[in-house]
Structure 1
Amino acid sequence: MTNWRPDPSQLRRPAYLSLAEQIARAIQEGKLVNGTKLPTHRRMAEDLGLSVQTVSRAYDDLIRRGLISGEIGRGSFVQTQPREPEPPYLPERLGEVIDLSILKPVCEQIHVEKMRQAFAWLSENLPASSALSFRPNMVFPRHRAVATEWLARCGLDVSPLNVSLTNGATSGMTTALMSVAPPGSTVATEVVSHHTLVPLSTYLGLHLEGLAIDEEGMIPEALDEACRKGPIRAIFLQPSVINPMAALMSAGRREALAAVASRHDIAIIENDVLGPMVEGRAPPMAAFAPERTLYVTTFTKTTVPGLRIGYLVAPDRYVAAVANRHLVSNWMATPAMAEIATRWVADGTAMELVAWQRRALASRHAIAAEMLAGLPYRAHPQSLHVWLPLSCGHTEDAFVAQARLRGVGIAPGKSFHTTDHGWTPAVRISLGSTTESELRTGLGIVASLAQGNPQELLLAI
């Protein structure tokens, strides 16, 4: 038990969040150390003049944040040791929350109907090999050939022998990292990058180094300096809008980064899940450095989220490694999904849905421009999200908490940060995860918070 107690005079409405914040600050300031037993719910309620239910909600909030643990029969204890990272999005949509935290394409009934039609076709046309074979090379030759047609739309001219089918982008990223960076090596990326890259690198035993960026992304000079200071095995890039800041890298910047990678003989992992949806973009990094780039794309962000299939293109030097790493981590992509993707690429459905998504996003960006007018947000006409830097005085935790209290879920910028230095508070806001009406309402709430007094937000929680 500890001698520290919350100050009842500092409690504000809602009281459970205010109490949780007092305890959280005490933990951060070292007044409550790891393993400290907290008072029981009833004892805390009596000390502060609160209801037991209010204290229980405060403790539950702290458990969700990973700051305390509740053990049946023993009580509640401070927990400050490393824990599993939280996703930037809400694990599930609760109650009436407008969920702008999870990155999704715009989806309507047309997407459900397309998938239903695809499964109806599949029920009559599923090849025996897709249903019965354990051998990827027996199932996927035809799919690899059609994949090259899609990859050509992405700006790549590749052989089917260099294409692996994966269960989406995360599977492709994992395989690519395992293929080029052994445990203990260093992978460089942008200071603001993919939210799964930090935990994934940890699980694979890799050191992740976040490098300086500008409005286009990674700065070539920063990469060159990092390579000179220590051994870098690979760089991970998202040059075409899908990155958190919705930045589109120019051809000149891609060429410069490719030159640095070539000079230091390091691999490039390119995440390009929006593929041909981004109009007017430069060719992929894989076109500038085909001999060293592992290119990942997928259909989930541009067609239908349920189409969990993707392509990983590897240069000749990494083809065998990719095949082996994919076997041990996934064995093979799901054949039924591969059949649907191949049919949609061949019959034009995939590009039809990409064009539909562009039109839908144009409408969503018009709403964002109206509701966030005057705020310094970043976006691209084909981005699925906007990136909103917070003005001086705003903290991400308080901003996200206040948005959540007002019924809007958004993603904190820290979820995408790969280093502890040079961080500017920001939030990511998805444009496709809800209806246009809810999006307008949610963006209005976010805008009012962004334009409000930061100190008032802190007092409110």
Structure 2
Amino acid sequence: MWDIADSPAQRPLYIALVESLEKAIENGDVLPGDRLPTHRDLAKKIGVTVTTITRAYAEAEKRCLVTAVVGKGTFVAGGAPVPPAPGGNAGDLPIEMGVASPMYREEPDITPVVERVMKKNDMTTLTRFHSPQGLPEHREVGAGWIGRAGIKASADTVLISAGPQHSMTSVFHAVFEAGDRIAVEQLTSPVFKSYARRTGLILEGIPLDGEGMIPEKLEEACKSGVIRGLYTSGSLQLPGHEEASAKRRHALARIIKQYDLVLVEDDSFNFLDTRKNRTLSSLAPHNSIYIASVSAAFYAGLRIAFIHAPSRYYSRISQGIADTIWMVSPLCAAIACECIASGLGDRIIRNKSRELTKRTHVFKQKLQEYETTCATNSMFAWLKLPEYWTGSGFEHAAEKSGVRVFAAEKFAVGPIVPPNSVRLVMTGPPDFPTFKKAIDILVTVLKRESGYVNLLL
């Protein structure tokens, strides 16, 4: 039981309970996957009515703090991961396969690019204030980058943001309000779950099948309540799922248009997938806001992403950028655009694709006796665990043994039983030998039923 003694007395008791639970989660006093007491048991323990506990648990679920599973109970939900601070002692940190990370060693020294930008541009212009949406020439390059996914974009439909997280903040700040209901896959980005909790958005988890979100279930949600928007970050991040078929995408697009949903499609981590006409946005352009990150593909520290939006949302998103940072650094945008225009960006992506192919081969080979999902050219893989492991238990044991992975509980939305799986970021380890070492550690942990050994030593 978490401590509620320090909750403000003037707050309603059910709110005080929720706030104390939130603090306990932040402090690590309760962990993702922990089962909370039943309504009746907790009410009896602290001397309140069952109704108070019911209201508290409902509010906690609204804030994405807990997940209620029918017939199972109420569990602490997986929160958004906090990446380790860069620049620390790598020897003291687990090998990173939890937080989405680029393969930095596949990126050449950026100095020649910066030198070209300095020669080709007026540096005074690049260090002055400009409009929030970015310079026209940079937006034109962004339109070409977005067009790779089969989306018709132009400089007039593109805005420049400071990476995918800032894109999310600018878009949702501008287009939605606290209390709006947003449809998402029942397994969605932990970062977006955290954002929704902080801003008061209500997430409506839509059931999944082998192709991702089920259209009939989305339509049921639209009929049963007011759904304002749909957020998706791509089915390649989901366990047991491959790319949705054209039939599935058309079915979802029909519902989006019929109910006039605002589609926010964050395609940032699918840059290795070069197929066109694979996005929902291309099928519902009037309803779609599409995010394509450069930072996810190369030179992450530049913090550049492109947002494509129809005219009815464009000015509001521009204001959202202005409200947060006024504008993205034109200098960083110029460097990113030079990488794209010169072909360097494509060379880096090809290098990363080759490295990822090697890693995928090793992953499948070493884990061939287990059930895995690892789509072609996806940064993410999923590992289904043996029955004697839980997702949160394996996550904890793996980290203690030297590798950070994320259990499916972190991605779960609403009253579902998450798959007994963990997600691995294939691009996380800095080089191929470290990747192989990480997989060997995970195989060793898989074969144990409890406890851990620090296998990095």
Distance of 2:186 and 2:97 partners within structure 1: 23
| 3-state SS of 1:286 partner | coil
Residue number in structure 2 paired with 1:91: 84
Partner of 1:43: none
Alignment partner of 1:417 is 2:436: no
Shift of the 224–206 alpha-carbon distance from structure 1 to 2, 3 Å rule, reads: same
Task: In structure 1, give the amino acid aligned to 2:259.
Answer: H
Q: In the alignment, is residue 163 of structure 1 matched against residue 172 of structure 2?
A: no
Quick check: 1:247–1:380 contact (8 Å CA) kept in 2? yes
Q: How far off its partner does 1:134 sit?
A: 4.2
Match of 1:132 among 124, 128, 132: 128
Q: Match for residue 449 of structure 1?
A: 445
By how many angstroms is 1:240 displaced? 5.3
Does the CA-based 8 Å contact 2:265-2:291 persist in structure 1?
yes
The equivalent residue for 1:439 is 435
Larger-Rg structure:
1
> CA 1:184/1:62 → structure 2, altered by over 3 Å: closer, same or farther?
closer
TM-aligned CA distance change 1:90 to 1:156, over 3 Å:
closer
In the other structure, the counterpart of 1:65 is: 28
Q: 1:217 to 1:281 in 2, by over 3 A?
A: farther
The one of 293, 298, 304 aligned to 1:298: 293
Q: Is the 8 A contact 1:385 1:429 kept in 2?
A: yes
CA displacement, residues 358-416 of structure 1 (integer Å, 9 cap, x when unaligned): 11110110110111111111111211121112232322232122112222221222222
For 1:459 and 1:107, locate their aligned partners in 2 and report how far apart those are by CA, in whole Å.
29
Using the alignment, how far apart are the partners of 2:336 and 2:413 within structure 1?
33
Structure 1 residue 445 displacement after superposition: 2.0
- Distance in 2, Cα, partners of 1:183 & 1:446: 41
Determine if the alignment matches structure 1 residue 225 to structure 2 residue 220.
yes
| 1:310 aligned residue (300, 305, 310) | 305
Q: Which residue identity does 1:440 align to in structure 2?
A: K
Match of 1:356 among 351, 360, 384: 351
Map 1:336-415 to 2 at 5 A. Answer: 336-415=331-410
Shift of 1:218: 0.7
Q: Secondary structure at the match of 1:296?
A: strand
Amino acid at match of 1:419: G
Amino acid at match of 1:223: L
Alignment of 1:196-207 (within 5 A): 196-207=191-202
Q: CA deviation at 1:191?
A: 0.7
Runs of 4+ in 1 over 4 A off after TM superposition: 61-64, 80-86, 242-246, 457-460
Any unmatched runs of 5+ in structure 2? 7-23, 32-56, 66-76
Displacement of 1:195 in angstroms is 1.3
Cα RMSD, aligned residues only: 2.9
1:175 partner amino acid? S
Distance change in 2, residues 1:459/1:99 (3 Å): closer
Percent same amino acid at aligned positions? 23
CA distance in 1, matches of 2:197, 2:410: 15
Task: Compute the displacement of 1:196 (Å).
Answer: 0.9
Distance in 2 between residues matched to 1:67 and 1:237, nearest whole Å: 29
Where 1:241 maps in the other structure, the secondary structure is helix
Amino acid at match of 2:439: L
Matches of 2:273 and 2:371, distance apart in 1: 22
Q: 1:308 to 1:211 in 2, by over 3 A?
A: same
Q: 230, 236, 239: which is aligned to 2:234?
A: 239
Given residue 104 of structure 1, which amino acid in structure 2 is its aligned partner? S
Residues 333-342 or 284-293, more deviating: 333-342
Question: Is the alpha carbon distance of 1:440 and 1:408 closer, same or farther for their aligned partners in structure 2, counting shifts above 3 Å?
Answer: same
In structure 2, C-alpha distance between the alignment counterparts of 1:261 and 1:226, rounded to whole Å: 12
Structure 1 residues not aligned, in runs of 5+ = 1-26, 37-60, 69-79
8 Å Cα contact 2:157/2:308 also seen in 1: yes
| TM-score, length basis structure 1 | 0.77
The structural deviation recorded for 1:94 is: 5.6
- From 113, 120, 134, the equivalent of 1:118 is 113
The total of aligned residue pairs comes to 390
TM-score norm. by structure 2 comes to: 0.78
Q: CA separation of 1:183/1:90 partners in 2, compared to 1, >3 Å: closer, same or farther?
A: closer
Stretch deviating more after TM superposition (268-277 or 291-300): 268-277
CA drift of 1:281 comes to 5.8
3-state DSSP class of the match of 1:428?
Answer: strand
